[in-house]
Each structure stands twice: as structure tokens, then as C-alpha cells.
Amino acid sequence: MSLKYTPDHEWILVEGDIATVGITHHAQDALGDVVFVDLPEVGASIDAKAVAGVVESVKAAADVYMPVSGTVTEVNEALRADPALANSDPLGAGWFFKVQLSNPAELDGLMDKTSYDSFAANN
């Protein structure tokens, strides 16, 4: 298992060739109370850095970007039913979708926890 982060405040947990994607604590803190999520369709092939979904809060709406290229294999229906999971457990029950990696080398361009923590503190 490998946990990586994007400059757009998504996290990606890689297990083999499947990765789980969500938003970070920093992102949900900045957004405030999440009230709606728009998740990608299962089977959709999405390129790295393309918009994969939307998260809306009482303060703002923000795009959720695909950290790496791949095909969506599963979406979190519990999050769709209870968007507040993105606030209460962003790195657990509040995950957004799972993707089968099409280019695992793209993971090398993402940040580890130490790098991300430093980045988030300054952005």
C-alpha cells in the first residue's frame, strides 16, 4: 500500500493496480460542511489531472481531479447518500472512487505525506 497526495488536495491509496481516491483533511477543512458530491461513472476512463467529480459545501464548490490515469471501477455510494462523510472521515469512509491504474508511473509525480504536509501548510 502506498499513500500519495496531489497539489489539488486529493489523496490516492494504491493497492496493487487499484487505487482509492478522496479529498484530504486540508481540502475538507477549506471547503467546510460538504453537502453534495458528484462522482464519476463506473467504467469511465479518465486522464490524470482531468476533472473526475465535484464536491459542494456550504461555502463553495470544487472540482475533484483524477490523480492518475485510469478506469473508474467503483464509486462510494455511501458518500453520495451522506456527503458529510467527506468531513467526518475523509481518509476512510469518505473516499470518493476507486480506479484501475492505466499508467502506474504517474504515481512518481505525486507527493508523499511529508511533502504534502509541507505543501499544504504553505498553500
Predicted confidence band at 118 (pLDDT cuts at 50, 70, 90)? very high
* Domain residue limits, the chain: 2-114
Domain spanning 2-114: CATH 2.40.50.100? yes
Q: What is the CA radius of gyration of the chain?
A: 13
Residues 6+ apart with CB under 8 A from 116: 5, 24
Give the model confidence (pLDDT) of 86-98 as tens digits: 999 999 999 999 9
Contact of 33 with 61, CB cutoff 8 Å:
no
Residue 57: closest CA among 38, 75, 74? 38
The kind and range of the H/E element at 100 are strand 97-101
CA distances from 52 to 11, 25, 121 (A): 13, 19, 25
- pLDDT tens figures, 12-68: 999 999 999 999 999 999 999 999 999 999 999 999 999 999 999 999 999 999 999
Does the pLDDT of residue 123 top 90, yes or no? no
pTM for the model: 0.96
d(CA 118, CA 89): 22
Q: Is the Cβ–Cβ distance between 60 and 36 less than 8 Å? A: no
